[in-house]
């Protein structure tokens, strides 16, 4: 609306009207700075510079209330001043002046807004003061503005219609706070009350008040009082003595003593409890038991109320148990049985004992006071019990309490250092004795002493001596055994000596080894010996190399050529050597011995020093020499003795053979060999299954088919239909041509094309046409 020129004019005017005095300038400047922002924000410069009053003045000059005489005179003044000033600072930059003016005018308007007082006349202002407005309103014929109601100071606010006063809302926060404070105060009050109640003076506090000296004084006082009392007592005694009262008193005491009720008076009274019930170290108060006034027996019985109670409870418990067992609902049969046998069971038998024996038992119970025997018996019983508990004299009770655990130390402590392991005592002494005893050193010279080996001969006189020694000595079993064994060996050796005194020494020993039952030996009482070695050999079974070296069973040959030399009266024929049956002479008084062997298992090594024969023997036995024509030895008779009776090598081999043979043949014994003539036979096996219609089945179907057959239950109707459908489809598929559709469309197409002589067909048109 307003052009630039216009604006400038108005500004100038404003400026004029504003600048009342040069003194105000500074203040105005300050205000300008302060208001700068406000102005920019809510007021566009255009609005400010609208020359409101100019319009007003133009249109209805009479209506402008501000243009009164006073304001107009002021305006004149200002104009004159302005004029003057403009003259004064003419050299100033015009532009800057203008800017200043505009800013000043801004400040003015702001100021004017706030001020209610009379302002300059109809000058440009957007908001009129109340007074001005009122004047304007009066001219327009309106009622004056209502005075702005200020909010009442009492916090009451009128509602929008101005009709009702509202009570201001209470401040909940403040309320809460006050509540809290009140609560805390209450709490504190309560606490104080309780504290007051509980506050008592403690014993220690009290005593604290008295110091040590007070305590000492107190105790001294007490002591003094005691002393005084003692003195007084002594004085009184003296007085009594003087007047002869003491003698009287003593007499009286004596009498009293005599009249006193002692244990002797109670002698013979019965106490109705067991001795066990009355505990030794406790004082038990006994009272006379109640009894029937009309009862015959006048016996007084002492009881203790507590013990009576205990006994009663015990009894009740027992009875309760009995009662539980008492009800037997299905006992009729037993009753009937008992009745049939002649003795009827009493009715309610469980009460019988109680009624009958209750009193009687009571009477027998207990003990008599002064009855020493009972005490003795009790004591003795107790002692016995203790002893039994301990398990007699030999047994002592072991505590289950283990020694206290402690942490293992790396070093030995004193006890451990001192402690020594007890070595188990050897029985060497005894054994030595056994060795020494039988061989009496005094009786032999060094050369003759038996070395206790098998390859030395033993003289008969030595033997007898040793046996004598054996008889004399009564040694423990081991010694006896050793002695017996030795004696036996010696005797055998002796026998050999007796029978073959002409053969060399080695021969003797070999003879002794041999198993051939010799009548003489038998008559002399040989024995079968089982020892550890023999057992071991037996368990080994037949040693394959046994006897190969010839050192084991050459006795056959030996015996062969020995027989001539032997001058022995043989009543019985010695038929066989090894493993043969020996004939026993019935007439002879000695028992027949089946075998003889001084040392079984291993035989003695032949002595080398007995000529060429001995050397040869040794060589043979060692295997240096091989006996020509020595057949693989049959199982020696000696070892046969040791081996099991029903056992043979053949058996063993057969068993081993069995392992393969029987199993593979599986019962059909026959030769295992291939069919040579059928070696080219390669059967081509093909498993094919067909169903009832003869159609081949795939493995899955075949399985199903077989399964149905096996279980005797065919597939369901649906399944069967499905299968048939499938089969039909398959057949169709097989019949279908591979080059055309099932409807023969291709054929038709080709026909059409041939007909029309064109490489295409027209698809449009009626359906029938296309089909043609």
Partner 1 sequence: MLEVTCNDRLGKKVRVKCNPDDTVGDLKKLIAAQTGTRYDKIVLKKWYTVFKDHIKLSDYEIHDGMNLELYYQ
Q: Which is nearer to partner 1, 149 or 414 (CB)?
A: 149
Residues that bind partner 1 (CB under 8 A): 1-2, 43-44, 46-47, 50, 52, 54-56, 58-59, 63, 126-128, 130, 133, 136-137, 140, 142-143, 145-148
Q: Which is nearer to partner 1, 43 or 79 (CB)?
A: 43
Q: Which is nearer to partner 1, 47 or 80 (CB)?
A: 47
Task: Tell me how far apart the alpha carbons of residues 118 and 70 are, in angstroms, rounded to a whole number.
Answer: 11
Q: Which is nearer to partner 1, 117 or 424 (CB)?
A: 117
- How long, in residues, is the chain? 772
Task: Tell me how far apart the alpha carbons of residues 347 and 215 are, in angstroms, rounded to a whole number.
Answer: 82
Give the shortest CB-15-to-partner 1 separation in angstroms. Answer: 21
CB 637 within 8 A of CB 579: yes
Q: Which is nearer to partner 1, 56 or 307 (CB)?
A: 56
* DSSP-assigned states of every residue in 235-290: HHHHHHHHHTHHHHHHHHHHHHHHHS--GGGGTT-EESS-TTTS-TTS----EEPP
* DSSP-assigned states of every residue in 496-516: HHHH-SSS-HHHHHHHHH---
Give the shortest CB-144-to-partner 1 separation in angstroms. Answer: 9
* DSSP-assigned states of every residue in 712-755: T----HHHHHHHHHHHHHHHHHHHS-SSS-TT-HHHHHHHHHHH
Give the shortest CB-122-to-partner 1 separation in angstroms. Answer: 10
CB 580 within 8 A of CB 555: no
Q: Which is nearer to partner 1, 147 or 263 (CB)?
A: 147
- In the numeric block, which tokens belong to residue 323? 């009662």
Q: Which is nearer to partner 1, 7 or 18 (CB)?
A: 7
Give the shortest CB-192-to-partner 1 separation in angstroms. Answer: 58
Q: Which is nearer to partner 1, 122 or 606 (CB)?
A: 122
Give the shortest CB-123-to-partner 1 separation in angstroms. Answer: 12
Give the burial string for 602-630 (b: 16+ CB within 10 Å, else e). ebbbbbeebeeebbebbbbbeeeeeeeee
CB 65 within 8 A of CB 136: yes
Give the shortest CB-187-to-partner 1 separation in angstroms. Answer: 51
Q: Which is nearer to partner 1, 144 or 714 (CB)?
A: 144
Q: Which is nearer to partner 1, 130 or 194 (CB)?
A: 130
Q: Which is nearer to partner 1, 143 or 767 (CB)?
A: 143
Q: How many CB atoms lie within 10 A of CB 647?
A: 13
Task: Tell me how far apart the alpha carbons of residues 339 and 393 are, in angstroms, rounded to a whole number.
Answer: 54
Residue owning tokens 């003045």 = 57
Strands 367-368 and 287-288: unpaired
Q: Which is nearer to partner 1, 164 or 375 (CB)?
A: 164
Closest to 112 (Cα-Cα) out of 104, 12, 511: 104
For residue 519, the Cα-to-chain-centroid distance in whole angstroms is 80
Give the burial string for 358-370 (b: 16+ CB within 10 Å, else e). eeeeeeeebbebe
Give the shortest CB-46-to-partner 1 separation in angstroms. Answer: 4
Q: Which is nearer to partner 1, 45 or 541 (CB)?
A: 45
Give the shortest CB-126-to-partner 1 separation in angstroms. Answer: 4
Task: Tell me how far apart the alpha carbons of residues 221 and 213 are, in angstroms, rounded to a whole number.
Answer: 12
Give the shortest CB-66-to-partner 1 separation in angstroms. Answer: 12
Q: How many CA atoms lie within 13 A of 344 on its CB side?
A: 3
Beta strands in 336-489 (DSSP E): 367-368
Q: Which is nearer to partner 1, 54 or 527 (CB)?
A: 54
What phi and psi values does residue 301 have, to the nearest 5 degrees? -125, 135
- In the numeric block, which tokens belong to residue 628? 């020509």
Integer angstrom CA distances of residue 505 from 458, 501, 508, 604, 612: 11, 9, 5, 12, 13
Give the shortest CB-68-to-partner 1 separation in angstroms. Answer: 17
Element (H, E) at 20: none
Give the shortest CB-112-to-partner 1 separation in angstroms. Answer: 12
- In the numeric block, which tokens belong to residue 360? 């009687």
Task: Tell me how far apart the alpha carbons of residues 434 and 482 are, in angstroms, rounded to a whole number.
Answer: 8
Q: Which is nearer to partner 1, 145 or 318 (CB)?
A: 145
309 burial type by CB count under 10 A (0-12 exposed, 13-18 middle, 19+ buried): exposed
CB 428 within 8 A of CB 573: no
Give the shortest CB-65-to-partner 1 separation in angstroms. Answer: 10
Give the shortest CB-166-to-partner 1 separation in angstroms. Answer: 18
Give the shortest CB-73-to-partner 1 separation in angstroms. Answer: 24
Give the shortest CB-45-to-partner 1 separation in angstroms. Answer: 9
Task: Tell me how far apart the alpha carbons of residues 569 and 342 are, in angstroms, rounded to a whole number.
Answer: 88
């Amino acid at each position: 609306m307003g052009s630039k020129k216009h604006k400038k004019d108005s500004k100038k005017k404003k400026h004029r009207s504003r600048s009342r005095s040069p003194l105000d300038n500074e203040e105005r400047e300050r205000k300008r700075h302060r208001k700068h922002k406000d102005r920019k924000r809510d007021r566009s410069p255009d609005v400010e510079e609208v020359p409101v009053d100019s319009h007003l003045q133009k249109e209805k000059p009479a209506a402008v209330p501000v243009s009164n005489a006073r304001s107009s005179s002021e305006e004149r003044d200002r104009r004159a001043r302005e004029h003057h000033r403009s003259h004064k600072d003419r050299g100033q930059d015009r532009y800057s002046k203008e800017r200043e003016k505009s800013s000043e005018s801004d400040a003015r308007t702001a100021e004017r807004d706030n001020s209610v007082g009379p302002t300059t006349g109809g000058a440009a202002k957007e908001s009129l003061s109340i007074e001005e407005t009122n004047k304007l309103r009066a001219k327009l014929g309106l009622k004056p503005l209502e005075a702005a109601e200020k909010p009442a100071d009492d916090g009451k606010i009128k509602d929008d219609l101005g009709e009702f006063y509202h009570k201001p809302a209470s401040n909940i926060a403040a309320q809460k706070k006050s509540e809290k404070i009140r609560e805390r105060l209450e709490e504190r009050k309560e606490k104080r009350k309780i504290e007051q109640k509980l506050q008592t003076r403690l014993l220690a506090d009290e005593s604290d008040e008295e110091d040590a000296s007070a305590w000492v004084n107190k105790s001294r006082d007490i002591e003094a009082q005691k002393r005084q009392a003692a003195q007084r007592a002594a004085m009184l005694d003296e007085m009594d003595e003087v007047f002869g009262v003491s003698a009287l008193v003593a007499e009286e005491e004596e009498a009293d003593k005599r009249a006193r009720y002692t244990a002797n008076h109670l002698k013979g009274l019965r106490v109705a409890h067991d001795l066990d019930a009355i505990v030794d170290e406790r004082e038990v108060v006994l009272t006379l038991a109640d009894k029937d006034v009309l009862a015959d027996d006048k016996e007084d019985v002492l009881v203790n109320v507590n013990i009576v109670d205990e006994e009663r409870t015990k009894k009740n418990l027992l009875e309760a148990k009995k009662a539980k067992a008492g009800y037997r609902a299905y006992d009729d049969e037993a009753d009937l049985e008992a009745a049939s046998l002649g003795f009827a069971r009493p009715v309610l038998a469980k009460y019988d004992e109680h009624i009958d024996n209750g009193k009687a038992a009571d009477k027998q119970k207990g003990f008599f006071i002064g009855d020493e025997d009972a005490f003795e018996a009790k004591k003795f019983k107790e002692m016995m019990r203790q002893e039994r508990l301990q398990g007699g004299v030999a047994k002592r009770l072991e505590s289950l309490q283990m020694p206290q655990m402690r942490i293992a130390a790396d070093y030995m402590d004193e006890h451990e250092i001192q402690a020594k392991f007890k070595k188990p005592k050897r029985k060497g002494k005894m054994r030595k004795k056994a060795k020494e005893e039988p061989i009496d050193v005094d009786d032999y010279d060094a050369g003759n002493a038996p070395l206790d080996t098998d390859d030395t001969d033993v003289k008969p006189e030595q033997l007898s001596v040793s046996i004598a020694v054996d008889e004399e000595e009564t040694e423990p079993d081991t010694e006896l055994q050793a002695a017996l064994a030795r004696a036996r060996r010696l005797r055998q050796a002796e026998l050999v000596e007796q029978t073959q005194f002409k053969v060399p020494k080695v021969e003797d020993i070999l003879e002794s080894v041999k198993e051939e039952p010799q009548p003489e030996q038998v008559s002399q009482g040989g024995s079968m010996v089982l020892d550890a070695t023999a057992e071991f050999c037996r368990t080994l079974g037949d040693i394959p190399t046994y006897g190969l070296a010839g050192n084991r069973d050459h006795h056959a040959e030996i015996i062969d050529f020995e027989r001539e030399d032997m001058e022995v009266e043989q009543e019985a024929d010695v038929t066989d050597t090894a493993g043969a049956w020996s004939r026993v002479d019935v007439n002879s008084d000695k028992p027949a011995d089946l075998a003889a062997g001084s040392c079984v298992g291993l035989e003695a090594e032949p002595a080398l020093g007995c000529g060429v024969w001995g050397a040869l023997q040794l060589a043979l036995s060692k295997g240096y020499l091989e006996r020509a024509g020595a057949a693989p030895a049959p199982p020696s008779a000696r070892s046969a003795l040791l081996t099991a009776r029903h056992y043979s090598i053949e058996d063993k081999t057969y068993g081993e053979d069995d392992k393969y043979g029987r199993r593979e043949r599986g019962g059909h014994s026959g030769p295992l060999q291939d069919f040579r003539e059928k070696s080219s036979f390669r059967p081509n096996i093909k498993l094919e299954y067909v169903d009832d219609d003869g159609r081949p089945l795939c493995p899955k179907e075949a399985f199903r088919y077989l399964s149905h057959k096996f279980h005797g239950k065919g597939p369901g109707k649906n399944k069967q239909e499905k299968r048939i459908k499938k089969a039909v489809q398959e057949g169709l598929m097989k019949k279908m041509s591979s080059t055309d559709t099932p409807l023969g469309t291709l054929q038709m197409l080709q026909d059409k094309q041939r007909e029309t002589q064109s490489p295409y067909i027209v698809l449009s048109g009626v359906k029938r046409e296309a089909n043609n």
